[in-house]
Chain A
Amino acid sequence: MNKIKDIILYKMPFLKKSKTHFSFLKKVSFLEEFSYKDFYIFQKFLHERTFQPAEVVFHQGDLNTAFFFLFDGKLEMFLNNSSQGFLVEGDYFGEDGLSLSPLKRPLSVKSTHFSKVLVLLKDDLIEMKLAYPLVASKFLHGLLTSFLLKLVHE
């Protein structure tokens, strides 16, 4: 039943409650320091990608150069082909893709429904840092704080 619902919503997106990148980003917890102008600049650097059910977002061991926000849908994480849990709308992942040294993906991520992700590439972040240093530093500060909070809670 859910699958049919997904297909209908994917083929006819106007049936869905309208959601923009801006309204989505406003709900992301670590971007709370962003002003309206910051959001506007930040979303210019994001790339929207759509994945079909069972399509792989990235494989374990792939080149790691991007950070992802799950804009819509549901994703599943795998470590050596065993499921490690799900990612739902509003989650973000691939933080280590923004590190300076090239790393490999520690997990595989697969889409379980029709999903949309917003991708921030490492090189785009570097460009943002050069052109709009305040926005880039706010983003990195927020991401680091949320990462540290996650560690504390764990």
Chain B
Amino acid sequence: MNNKNIYFLTIITIFVCILFFYKDLFLSVFFSYFLYLTLIPVKIVFIRSSIIKKFFIILLFFIFFIFLFYNTLSIIFLFQDYLPTLLENTPMLTNKFLTFIDDLKNKFPILTFLSVDNNMIVQGTYYFKNLGLTFLSSLPKFLQHVTSLCIFIPLFLIFFLKDSLALKKEIYKIIPNKFFEQSTYFISFFHKNFSKYMASKFLEACCIFLLLIIFIGHLPQGLFLSYFPAFVSFIPYLGPLIGFIPAVFFFSFDILSYDQFQYYIMFYIIVQLIDFLLIFPFLVSQSVRINPLYMFISLYIGSQMMGILGMMISIPVAAFFKLLYEHVYREIYERY
């Protein structure tokens, strides 16, 4: 092993250690890289239309900063206001959901299979109470994380947008000559594939947001109920379920009435069906060509290793490993 290889391995190890021990930094780099990938097509359009690059970057910084900070804080404070009173009245909440299910059964006889026993109610209430208490106790730490993310993400995003070429050059510099061409090929393949996937996911999220804002935008907290499901749609398969949670909370807080909640459920299901049947197959599936079985396996492995974050990146990473496997297989096949 020559000096350059040792240097290369040392740099990689230090970088991984820093990211491992400073999770906020890791998350900031990660999310800003996500955002950068989704913004690549926009960046090229702006360069082509000769608008001053710096102005665009600064504008982007402020829009993201204000948007992320304001919305996240407002929703967190809303939860902080409502949750303690709700936790004191859990039996009332249980009754509310039971009445809601009975009402649904009366309106739609097809749902008569929905049966809720006492044990389920007790367990559900206990789980809800615990979830609420954990949220309240971890709120200060959570706020600290959110604040640091809100500051670091736009900063890293600016850096990625402005100096991505220089950064790439510096990264490529540490690769030993022996692996240079192959490594750059795989890195650029991963980058390209990830970018394509993220751009299609971003378009999918925009479609979901637009459809939801048209149908349910007029409801109380309609804006949040539209952009939150769009945001979590980046998580494959689990996204629609997570996106539904805020509506349940808003219904519990009495921000949404019975009728509004029913109306929301109906249109939420319609929008998710449109996404599942029309948007996803045409936009996302075509961007990453992997067998659905591999997709599920990669999702499972991703969720086990890195949780929700792992699920978000599992599909493009699987595509990368597929290419790596094909390349190695071809090399071995041709050699022997």
Contacts of B165 in A (CB 8 A): 44-45, 127
Given A47-B169, A47-B173, the answer on whether A130 and B181 have CB atoms closer than 8 Å is no
Mark the stretch among B17-25, B184-192, B210-218, B286-294 that contacts chain A: B184-192
Are the CB atoms of B47 and A121 closer together than 8 Å?
no
- A95 contacts the other chain (CB 8 A): no
- B134 contacts the other chain (CB 8 A): no
Are the CB atoms of B188 and A123 closer together than 8 Å?
yes
Interface residues on A, range: 20 to 34
Bound CA–CA A131/B43 (angstroms): 9
- A55 contacts the other chain (CB 8 A): yes
- B177 contacts the other chain (CB 8 A): yes
**Count of chain A to chain B residue pairs whose CB atoms are closer than 8 Å in the complex:** 39
B166 to A: closest C-beta gap in Å? 8
**0/1 interface trace, chain A 36-78, chain B, CB 8 Å (1 if under):** 0000000011010101000111100011111000000000000
Contacts of B180 in A (CB 8 A): 49, 119
Q: Number of residues in B with C-beta < 8 Å to the partner?
A: 18
Are the CB atoms of A47 and B188 closer together than 8 Å?
no
Contacts of B138 in A (CB 8 A): none
Bound CA–CA A143/B313 (angstroms): 39
Contacts of A56 in B (CB 8 A): 178
Bound CA–CA A49/B174 (angstroms): 10
Bound CA–CA A62/B327 (angstroms): 12
Bound CA–CA A64/B165 (angstroms): 22
Bound CA–CA A63/B189 (angstroms): 13
Bound CA–CA A90/B166 (angstroms): 25
Contacts of A63 in B (CB 8 A): 181-182, 185, 327
Contacts of A119 in B (CB 8 A): 180
B→A interface (CB under 8 Å): 44, 47-48, 165-166, 169, 172-173, 177-178, 180-182, 184-185, 188, 192, 327
